[in-house]
Structure formats: structure tokens, C-alpha cells
């Protein structure tokens, strides 16, 4: 089962930075992301949603493979690839997996102008190492599907960094 975590930032670019950090951690097998979405509310109040999972491209790639295979069986590989790409792209465009788009937009509307948030749907996380990597970004947990204890631990870890930064700044 996957866990949903939404972290907000007081900067338009922090969520993108966290996404890059998460991608690096995924390569190191510290986190297994099912989906991640960055939401930015610019200073004019306009909301921008950046999906990280491109379903149209994935569908077209998968469809072209299966279309080629079927086309080879019936001795029309070019026709098979063409039909496969079109059907794959259509199925990718009509499929909605990962984090619910309406939930993303609804929570995104609550952001203040000039801020951002990252929606993370993770299958597996190495909590101590991932939290250590995310501390410097000064995020605030907005929503989560974690248990109360896990959510409290996450909030405490992020708050600890924020107070440490305030002490060093003073």
C-alpha cells in the first residue's frame, strides 16, 4: 500500500528542488515513488500543476511495441506500429493513475500566492534517511495518509530543522 504525503513550501521553487532530491533518492533505492506532483501558486495567484508521470508518452511507447509485435505476426509491421501508437496514446490519455487530480487542484487552491507544494505517493520509504535529506527544504506537512504516530514524527523532524535554522540565524 502506498502512502500519500503533501508538503508545502514558502517558495515557488522549493517543491521542484524536493522533486529532484526525491528522484536522486529513488535511484539510491531510499524511496520508491508511485507518483509525484508539484503544484505552484505564483504571486498572481495562478495555479500550475506539474505532473511527473507522462501517461500519453508511456501509452504510446507501450502501444508501439505491442503493435509491432502483432504487425509482425500478420506480416504488416508498419501498420501494426501505427495502430499500436495511436491506441496506446489514447489509452494513456484516458487512464488516470496515481494521485487524484481533483484532490490536487482542491488542495492547491488553499496555497498562498508565491508558494508551492509537492504531492508524493510512495510505495516504500527509508524514513530516517529520507527525512534527513528533506530537512533543509523547510517544508510543512499539509496532508498525509500516514498513521498519527508517523505523521507526528514527520512533522517533528521538519519542525526541528526549522527551529535549528532560526537559532543559527539569530
Tell me which range, 52-56, 100-104, 166-170, is most confidently predicted by mean pLDDT: 100-104
- Answer with the residue of higher pLDDT: 139 or 14: 14
Query: Above 70 in pLDDT, residue 88?
Result: no
pLDDT of residue 107: 87
At residue 50, the pLDDT reads: 87
Q: For the residues 95-121, what does the mean pLDDT come to?
A: 83
Among 34-38, 42-46, 68-72, name the most confident range: 42-46
Query: Residues 25, 29, 32, CA angle at the centre, nearest 5°?
Result: 85
Whole-number pLDDT of residue 39: 93
Where exactly are the structural domains of the chain? Answer: 3-52+115-169, 55-94
Tell me the mean pLDDT in the region 37-44: 92
Judged against a pLDDT cut of 50, whether residue 29 lies above it is answered with yes
Tell whether the model's pLDDT for residue 123 goes beyond 80: yes
What was the pLDDT predicted at 92? 46
Range ranked top by mean pLDDT from 14-18, 58-62, 77-81: 14-18
Q: Greater confidence, 148 or 43?
A: 43
Number of neighbouring beta carbons within 10 Å of residue 54: 11
- For 3-52+115-169, CATH gives 3.30.70.260
Mean predicted confidence (pLDDT) in 58-83: 52
Examine the pLDDT at 32 and tell me if it is beyond 70.
Answer: yes
- Mean residue pLDDT of the chain comes to 74
What is the number of other CB atoms lying within 10 angstroms of the CB of residue 39? 22
Amino acid at each position: 500500500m502506498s502512502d500519500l504525503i503533501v508538503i508545502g513550501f514558502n517558495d515557488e521553487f522549493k517543491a521542484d528542488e524536493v522533486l529532484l532530491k526525491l528522484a536522486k533518492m529513488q535511484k539510491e533505492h531510499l524511496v520508491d515513488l508511485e507518483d509525484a506532483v508539484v503544484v505552484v501558486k505564483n504571486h498572481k495567484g495562478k495555479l500550475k500543476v506539474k505532473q511527473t508521470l507522462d501517461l500519453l508518452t508511456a501509452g504510446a511507447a507501450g502501444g508501439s511495441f505491442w503493435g509491432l509485435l502483432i504487425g509482425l505476426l500478420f506480416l504488416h509491421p508498419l501498420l501494426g506500429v501505427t495502430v499500436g501508437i495511436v491506441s496506446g496514446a489514447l489509452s494513456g490519455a484516458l487512464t488516470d493513475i496515481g494521485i487524484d487530480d481533483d484532490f490536487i487542484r482542491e488542495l492547491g487552491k488553499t496555497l498562498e500566492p508565491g508558494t508551492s507544494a509537492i504531492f508524493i505517493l510512495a510505495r516504500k520509504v527509508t524514513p530516517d534517511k529520507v527525512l534527513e535529506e528533506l530537512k533543509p527544504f523547510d517544508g510543512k506537512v499539509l496532508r498525509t495518509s500516514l498513521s498519527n504516530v508517523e505523521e507526528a514524527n514527520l512533522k517533528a523532524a521538519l519542525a526541528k530543522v526549522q527551529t535549528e535554522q532560526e537559532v543559527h540565524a539569530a
